[in-house]
Structure 1
Amino acid sequence: MKNKPTVLIVDDESMNINILMDLLKSDYRLIAAKDGTQALQRVSQSTPDLILLDIMMPGMDGYSVCERLKASPDTRDIPVIFISAMGEVQDETRGFEVGAVDYITKPFSPPVVLARVSTHIQLCQAQKAMKAHNQQLEEQVQLRTRELAITQDVTIHSLASLAETRDNETGNHIRRTQYYVKALAEYLQLQGPYAKELPQGVVEPLFKSAPLHDIGKVGIPDAILLKPGKLDHNEFDVMKTHTTLGRDAIAKAEAELQDVGDEDVSKTSFLRLAREIAYSHHEKWDGSGYPEGLSGVDIPLSARLMAVADVYDALISRRVYKEPMTHEQARTIILDGRGSHFDPVIVDAFIVLEPEFQAIAARYQD
């Protein structure tokens, strides 16, 4: 009995209920109600798989009952078959308008009742099975997506850490600059002239791509990369190529994704942002930076954000060739670079976010 589908029969005439019960009792678990109010109570106690619903009843008629059922997310998917002596086209039309799936006229034809109840029970069961299958697929997709995101994050940090191991910087530099960029982007996303350039969904790929800003340093010779003193002109020219090396490596990855049909190398793609940051984070607002000498808003916004984050962290961090500066000293240099080295809007955001920058620096200190 437990495995049988449940059918609720609603009719104010006991004779009609008995007829239908005799027809259906061998294949279904049956519940009966004699009016609309009782029918709704029955449904609230135990959800049936199908309802056979009389239209003309005292008090609440079948149309009203059906409308109430379809208005609730808990009961809207229960198939309702109207049973009535009202056989006019407009009666059937009204029934379908309020959400019924079928219409059986009185007096009952046993083969018709059995066939229609069976058809709609099977259809309902198939829909439930499909819904459960889709839910399972969605959960599998979500799990796979989480796994891919974790793999992506680990890969990014592994690559970034590889670059850091060849430099005088530390792994926590990666973390700090990530969170500085995120803080700036989230602030500018809510106000100011760059809000439209930072739509929903762009902060996370910015956060993910930031660690790759110096990935090109893996191609710089140790004699230059690890030199404790100031680089000469020729050495500095070689050092500057880390921006191009980083850009080219990331561009190659983008091209390979496009070759295999991944069209999501879009405006919010972390690879695109990583390429911009790697190539342009040493450009300066006044055009005196490298590698192209871009100026103003011709420098990608992602790179302008990283410029402030990277310089600030370099200033407050210890290196083999220098002692760390205080926050106040670094703040003064950032302010002095407003409108020359750095985008003024981003510097203004940095000033607002000073406490957050200091908290990030403390949380991920070397």
Structure 2
Amino acid sequence: MPTNHNYMLIIGKNHLQNQNIVDIFNDHYKPIIVQDISKAIESLEANHSQIGIVMIDDSMDKDEIKDFLDFCLSKHLDVQIPMVFIDGTEDDELYNLVFSLKIDEVIRKPYNPNIFKARVLNLTALFSHKYRLQWLVDTQTKELRESIEVLNQMRLEVLESLGTLVEFRSIESGEHIYRVRFITELLMQEYQQCHPELDISNEMIHEIGMASILHDIGKISVSDTILNKPARLTEEEFNEMKKHTMYGCEIIKQFKGLYNEKTYQYYYDVIRSHHEKWDGKGYPDGLKKDEIPLWAQIVSVADIYDALTNTRVYKSAYHHSKAVKMIYDGECGMINPEVLDCFKNIENEVHQTAQALSGEKIESFQNEEENFVMHNLERERSYHRAYTELLSDCYFEYDSEYRTLQHYNILGRVGLEKYHEDMYRNVHPDDIDKLKQAINQTSSSNPTLKLYIRIRYGMQLAYMPCLVTIRTTWDIYTNKRIGGVGKIEIVRNN
């Protein structure tokens, strides 16, 4: 709150003049009277929060007046305390000097006491009002900044939650969105350094990094069976997958009110155009060269690099050196040469950042609640993998719609591929119908089956008798069989 300014600082060597001022303002201010500038400065420093006005008499030397007003200007006291100069010299040079040094009012001698009083009180009332308004503005600005910080943090949490939701639906790691964000910002910073003529601000870099979190948000609307298919997509499936850019645009439109127009455009462009290619062979719009927003090009490179260097449901991770060679050779589509040059400049830093944002290290970039959810999700996945690797039998998962099969443990170590596009590929031809019939006889209330069939096994891939146990899985809403998990045990005796 503003402080009550109860004191008047009177600076002058004319005792009669000083007393006259005290008498005029006796019912408004308590006087502090000084006769030299050093004392005036000391008094002002010690009591400036309580001084409501300063009176300077023409009995002071011109240089002294200048020194005092220079001090007030250096401490910005001229905007807090009104200054009045009482002049009877008619010295135009002195008159011009005090006005140039921000004196607020000049009272000419001889003066009418009532007019003098009215002019000074009007001046102090104006300053008091201005001071209070400034205090209110400062207070409300502080509160507004705090509110903006809270809203920005809430927005960040919403964005990260939406981005992480895509990763949770996929069997890929949820760390992907964090790596893409920080690689995007690194690449934007390098582009900023290489192209100062574009006037890329740090705020813009931050917003584009935030936008990258949602680059694949449209995958929420893509079927799980397509999203997690451990094999090459059919043309029809790939066309559906490509629609995630359009689905994402529809989703981000629902959040348009969270952003100003420019920031919203960053998000929209990144979501829609991060699969466009420099030669026009990308999707969804077939944009080429500078038709593709720069920020979408930057996010595209970050996304490509992270996808190459990390395991996906359909591929193993490539080493950094292999990944960057693929990018430079155009194996992932043509990239803007200027963006590619920037990526080359920070290639090692990108590699280090990606490594730092893997595993437990990423937790320093997440809040406590996200850490808890992410940690538990990854823990359950790792437990599942560990259990199947430690057990002596072969376990598998299959998808009913796409008839794909994923093996764990023994079969993967004896020559059979880990993923099958045909779940019946290694079943003896005479036993295929037997297996199909057994699966079709399961239900949501009786989902488990056991039967003996012959399966190709061993380094020679000879058919061997096996006991197969399958637990079918069902959609709780449609009661439709969607897949299953199973175990294969080799029969070692007759």
Provide TM-score, normalisation by structure 2: 0.66
Give the secondary structure class of the aligned counterpart of 2:171: coil
Query: What is the number of equivalent residue pairs in this alignment?
Result: 354
Distance change in 2, residues 1:12/1:337 (3 Å): same
State the alpha-carbon separation in 1 of the partners of residues 332 and 218 from structure 2.
Answer: 27
- The residue type paired with residue 261 of structure 2 is V
Contact 1:216 1:242 in 2 (8 A): yes
1:227 to 229, 237, 244: 229
Q: Distance in 2 between matches of 1:24 and 1:197?
A: 57
- For residue 296 of structure 2, what is the aligned residue in structure 1? 303
| Greater Cα offset, 315-324 or 232-241 | 315-324
Rounded Cα–Cα distance in structure 1 between residues aligned with 2:319 and 2:224: 29
Matched residues in 2 for 1:197 and 1:19: separation?
61
When Rg is computed on C-alpha atoms for both structures, the one with the higher figure is 2
* Gap change, CA 1:51 and 1:148, over 3 Å in 2: same
Residue 85 of structure 1 pairs with residue 78 of structure 2:
no
Q: 1:178 to 1:52 in 2, by over 3 A?
A: same
| 1:274-289 equivalences in 2 (<5 Å) | 274-289=267-282
Classify 1:224/1:3 alpha carbon distance in 2 versus 1 (closer, same or farther; 3 Å): closer
Structure 1 residues 203 and 237: CA distance shift in structure 2, 3 A: same
User: Counterpart amino acid of 1:7?
Assistant: M
Q: Identity percentage over the alignment?
A: 27
- Matched AA of 1:80: M
Name the counterpart of 2:184: 181
Mark the CA change 1:52 to 1:335 in structure 2 (over 3 Å): closer, same or farther: same
Counterpart-to-counterpart distance in 2, 1:139 and 1:312: 41
The question of whether the paired residues in 1 share the 8 Å contact of 2:107 and 2:116 is answered with yes
Letter in 2 for 1:76: D
User: In 2, distance between residues paired with 1:200 and 1:5?
Assistant: 47
Cα gap change, 1:227 to 1:174, in 2 (>3 Å)? same
Question: Which residues of 2 match residues 323-342 of structure 1 at below 5 A?
Answer: 323-337=316-330, 340-342=333-335
Asked if 2 retains the 8 angstrom alpha-carbon contact of 1:247 and 1:275, the reply is yes
Structure 2: which 5+ runs fail to align? 360-494
Of 358, 362, 365, the match for 2:358 = 365
Mark the CA change 1:288 to 1:98 in structure 2 (over 3 Å): closer, same or farther: closer
Residue type matched to 2:103 in 1?
A
The CA deviation at 1:40 is 3.2
Q: Secondary structure at the match of 1:212?
A: coil
Contact 1:104 1:113 in 2 (8 A): yes
Q: Deviations over 1:63-106 (max 9, x none)?
A: x2564255323322221112232468997676544422223334
Question: Which structure is richer in relative contact order (CA contacts within 8 A, separation 6 or more)?
Answer: 1
Q: Kindly provide the amino acid, as one letter, of the partner of residue 209 in structure 2.
A: F
Deviation, structure 1 residue 5? 1.4
Q: Give the 3 Å change call, closer, same or farther, for CA 104–189 of structure 1 in structure 2.
A: same
Give distance in 1, aligned partners of 2:30 and 2:290. 71
Structure 1 residue 356: Cα displacement: 1.8
Name the SS for the 2:77 alignment partner: coil
- Out of 167, 171, 194, the position equivalent to 2:174 is 171
SS of residue matched to 2:236: helix
Structure 1: 5+ residue stretches without partners: none
**Alignment partner of 1:241 is 2:243:** yes
Q: Which of 261, 264, 289 is residue 260 of structure 2 equivalent to?
A: 264
Contact 1:36 1:60 in 2 (8 A): no
Query: How far apart are residue 116 of structure 1 and its match?
Result: 3.2
Contact 1:9 1:17 in 2 (8 A): yes
Aligned to 1:190: 193
Q: State the Cα deviation string for residues 222-266 of structure 1 (Å, max 9, x = none).
A: 221111111111111111111111123324544xx4xxxx99312
Q: Deviations over 1:97-151 (max 9, x none)?
A: 4422223334454333433333333222222211111110100110111111111
Mapped to 2, the partners of 1:291 and 1:334 lie a distance apart of 21
Task: Report how far residue 327 of structure 1 moved.
Answer: 1.1
Q: How far 1:165 moved relative to its partner?
A: 1.7
Report the CA distance shift for 1:342/1:94 in structure 2 as closer, same or farther (over 3 A). Answer: closer
Equivalent position SS for 1:213: coil
- Give me the whole-angstrom Cα distance separating, in 2, the residues matched to 1:183 and 1:251: 27
Per the alignment, do residues 313 and 263 of structure 1 end up closer, same or farther by CA in structure 2, a change over 3 Å counting?
Answer: closer
CA RMSD of aligned residues (A): 2.7
**Which has the larger strand fraction?**
2
What are the equivalent positions in structure 2 for 1:84-163 lying under 5 Å apart?
84-86=87-89, 95-107=98-110, 109-163=112-166
Code of the aligned partner of 1:297: D
Q: For the Cα contact (< 8 Å) 2:190–2:342, is it kept in 1?
A: yes
Q: Distance in 2 between matches of 1:200 and 1:318?
A: 32
Shift of 1:4: 5.7
- Greater helix proportion: 1
Q: CA deviation at 1:168?
A: 3.0
Aligned pair partner of 1:344 in 337, 345, 357: 337
Separation of aligned partners in 2, 1:339 and 1:211: 21
Aligned to 1:33: 34
Mapped to 2, the partners of 1:197 and 1:166 lie a distance apart of 39
**Structure 2 vs 1, CA of residues 197 and 86 (structure 1 numbering), >3 Å: closer, same or farther?**
closer
**CA offsets per residue over residues 25-79 of structure 1, 9 Å max, x none?**
44322111224444334323332321111124346354x2564255323322221
CA distance 1:68–1:90, shift in 2 (3 Å): closer
Q: Work out which of the residue numbers 203, 206, 212 in structure 1 matches 2:205.
A: 203
Q: String of CA shifts for 1:158-199, please: whole Å, max 9, x gaps.
A: 11112222223322100000011100001101114x851734
**In 1: Cα distance, 2:148 partner to 2:244 partner:** 32
Q: Deviations over 1:308-342 (max 9, x none)?
A: 11111011112233222211111211111289522
Picking from 293, 300, 311, the partner of 2:286 is: 293
